[in-house]
Structure 1
Amino acid sequence: MSRSRGKWTKYKAMKGEEKLTSYLPETRLLTQGNLWDMMNIYGTVVIKPSLGSYGRGISKVSSTNDDQYEIIVEGNEKKILEGTEETNQYLKRYFRSKRLFIVQQWIPFATVKDSPFDLRVMVQRKRHSSQWAVTGIVAKIAIRGYFITNYAQKVIPLEQAIENSPLNSFPIAELHDEIQEVSLLAAKQLQRFYPKTRTFGLDVGLDAMGGIWIIEANHSPSISFFNKLEDKMMYETILRYKKG
């Protein structure tokens, strides 16, 4: 029986490597109890389907003043709800869904011109090889007003994103090296559970303090982001690994 490729299964797989735990936002299966436990701890969480892509079905839930809750659906559709009862009523389609949903600690990403960005990190190995390599890192800048980067307004190299963000005082080379190290460790850990997989696309966030967060791992990641860069070297390397 094949192992699920859902976000929840891959999160648990990565969580099994002690060295990765500090890079993983807290994630639980969505239940009403887990939602409010997480809200009490973090104040803002993200709800997403365990199986899904392109940002479909993602909601951000935040507590505001006066027992109100703001819910942003799929990027920018905003609702303000009064109290936990009304919020639970609005979210009941998630609680009662036959689909598996997760609730995840919200990580405020670093920004470029007030738009959050995250990174797509490609980690690959060639056929019949156990040697993993980071073959590409690209920054995806969210459309203005959106909290997810699935529909990026712009794609730029990692170094350019850092230089144009509040992280510009951080040593870029050290950040780059740590991102690579963490991504390789994640791929090696995931390989234990998915031994036939040769490519993982990691969605990695950087917070305002330069902290690195693995938001999720993708089995069949789109490589179109890399083709949008002027320099095609990473794109060509990714293709070479896919073929090899």
Structure 2
Amino acid sequence: MPIQRVRSKWAKTDVLLADPVLRQYVPVTLHYQRTSVENLLEHFGMIYVKPVYGTFGSGVIRLEKIPGADNPYRFQSGEKKYAFSSFDEMFRVLSRVKKPKPYLVQQGIHLLKHDGRRFDLRVMVQHNPRSQWESTGMIGRVAHPRKIVTNYHAGGTPLPVAVLLKNYLSKEDLKLYESRLLKFGVVIANTLSKKFPRLKEIGIDVAIDQQLKPWVLEVNTSPDPFIFKKLPSRSVFRRIYAYAISYGKFRVRKRKA
């Protein structure tokens, strides 16, 4: 049986929202339309609009409302920034800038920063050789200085989690926090696999807010394992790659005699 991939962000978000425990860790997410953009922006002050189908942060746009500013309505797409005096004007331009495909609107989470740059975390969860879910790695992703997304393929910088959180947690608290996130990953994988039973791996994008609460921004069902090569220790990548071979994502190359 082929490994299952779920491309729709909506399909995965719906499963998490249906779980009474996990739903508190999922940002408010609505279908893209004028009223949802306006209402969420008014309520949260900062939101994201994202393609329902897409990878590497492509097409993601960050919107803000800054009360008291001459042009309070603003958004950024890629490296380009826009500012407007009214919501109507902003929404007209936004509708032209976004890609012509289905979008969703999501509550913005104010990410922690490292050297002035926003970061989030990627938690890798895989079927181990015993066909049990196991969190096999975790890495931080620091956004490019001029961009809003943290993805490595969009210019983000991978760094160890301990480096990114050392200014926010003591060594002891950091170990407990990392353990909590790894367990969190297994819970999410078990929940998703009830709906999508042929999943073998997921990559969870976790935002951490100013109160150190984790938020599930997105779940990728075909995560790139090679970002973990950027960690100082190669042991994490070797385990991830070995597990991926065990469930058939990669083929073992046989050496010629």
Displaced runs of 4 or more, over 3 A: 93-97
Normalising by structure 2, report the TM-score.
0.86
Whether the aligned pair in 2 keeps the contact of 1:32 and 1:95 (CA below 8 Å) is: no
**For structure 2, which runs of at least 5 residues remain unmatched after alignment?**
247-257
Q: Which amino acid aligns with 2:38?
A: W
Distance of 1:96 and 1:121 partners within structure 2: 28
Q: Which amino acid aligns with 1:133?
A: E
Whether the aligned pair in 2 keeps the contact of 1:94 and 1:101 (CA below 8 Å) is: no
Distance of 2:175 and 2:27 partners within structure 1: 24
Report 1:84-95 matches (<5 A). 84-93=87-96
Q: 1:204 aligns with which of 186, 203, 206?
A: 206
For residue 146 of structure 1, report the CA deviation from its aligned partner. Answer: 2.3
Q: Tell me which residue corresponds to 1:78.
A: 81
Which structure's CA Rg is the greater one?
2
Whether the aligned pair in 1 keeps the contact of 2:150 and 2:157 (CA below 8 Å) is: no
Report 1:99-114 matches (<5 A). 99-114=101-116
Q: Tell me which residue corresponds to 1:62.
A: 64
Q: Which amino acid aligns with 2:164?
A: A
Report 1:133-148 matches (<5 A). 133-148=134-149
Distance of 2:102 and 2:97 partners within structure 1: 9
Q: Tell me which residue corresponds to 1:40.
A: 42
Distance of 1:115 and 1:222 partners within structure 2: 23
Residue 12 of structure 2 aligns to a residue whose secondary structure is helix
Distance of 2:19 and 2:160 partners within structure 1: 29
Q: 1:155 aligns with which of 140, 158, 162?
A: 158
Q: Tell me which residue corresponds to 1:223.
A: 225
Q: C-alpha deviations, 1:55-110, integer Å up to 9, x for none?
A: 11110010023462111102x3111012011012112247894x220111111111
For residue 134 of structure 1, report the CA deviation from its aligned partner. Answer: 0.3
Distance of 1:208 and 1:61 partners within structure 2: 19
For residue 126 of structure 1, report the CA deviation from its aligned partner. Answer: 3.3
Q: Tell me which residue corresponds to 2:127.
A: 125
Residue 205 of structure 2 aligns to a residue whose secondary structure is strand
Residue 128 of structure 2 aligns to a residue whose secondary structure is coil
For residue 154 of structure 1, report the CA deviation from its aligned partner. Answer: 2.5
**For structure 1, which runs of at least 5 residues remain unmatched after alignment?**
none
Residue 203 of structure 1 aligns to a residue whose secondary structure is strand
Q: Aligned pair count?
A: 238
Distance 1:54 1:62, change over 3 A: same
Normalising by structure 1, report the TM-score.
0.91
Moved more, 120-129 or 102-111: 120-129
